[in-house]
Amino acid sequence: MNPPRPRPRLDAENRAFWTGGEHGHLNIQRCYDCGHFTHPPKPLCRHCQSENTAPHAVSGLATVDSYTINHQPWLPCLAVPYVIARVRLNDAPDVILTTNIVGCPVDAVDFDDPVRVIFEHQDGIWYPLFEKAN
Ligand SMILES: [Zn+2]
């Protein structure tokens, strides 16, 4: 088994994001005044500065905005090669998550591929990763 991924420091703003996978939810902070999403989560909406925000479970469907295949063993927790991708959430197109695409050969990933979230659980953190959706 690989050593654990780097562990995020949980706080009141980001806890729903890092632990939502326990219930299969990808939680993104949403503003209930203007409707926009803010990620990474912050106390204020980044569009209208409202404090009227809360975690919102999005569908977990996304498209690959950009990606790279990493061959360098920067992190002992990740066996090379692996795909580092920026994915654009279908429900929140202004939110881009940096993640890994897993479950397929690295050369099977391409721009604009539809992907869906899966969660990798380690020690109370549910890391949102993505796999191809077709
Ligand atoms: Zn807002």
Contact predicate 90/62, CB 8 Å: yes
What pLDDT is recorded for position 75? 85
Angle made by CA atoms 71, 93, 122, in degrees to the nearest 5: 50
- Is residue 28 situated within a structural domain? yes
Over residues 41-62, the pLDDT tens digits come to: 998 999 999 999 999 999 999 9
CA of 66 to the centre of ligand 1 (A): 27
What pLDDT is recorded for position 134? 75
- Is residue 3 situated within a structural domain? no
CA of 31 to the centre of ligand 1 (A): 5
- Is residue 9 situated within a structural domain? no
Nearest to 95 by CA among 42, 21, 22: 42
What pLDDT is recorded for position 74? 86
How many domains does one find in the chain?
1
- Is residue 56 situated within a structural domain? yes
**DSSP H/E element including 53:** strand 53-58
CA of 37 to the centre of ligand 1 (A): 8
- Is residue 6 situated within a structural domain? no
CA of 35 to the centre of ligand 1 (A): 6
Dihedral pair phi/psi, residue 107, rounded to 5°: -85, 5
d(C-alpha 77, C-alpha 105), whole Å = 18
Contact predicate 109/1, CB 8 Å: no
Nearest to 60 by CA among 104, 111, 103, 97: 97
Q: Structural domain of residue 98, as residue ranges?
A: 15-132
CA of 72 to the centre of ligand 1 (A): 40
Please, which pLDDT band fits residue 2 given cuts at 50, 70 and 90? low
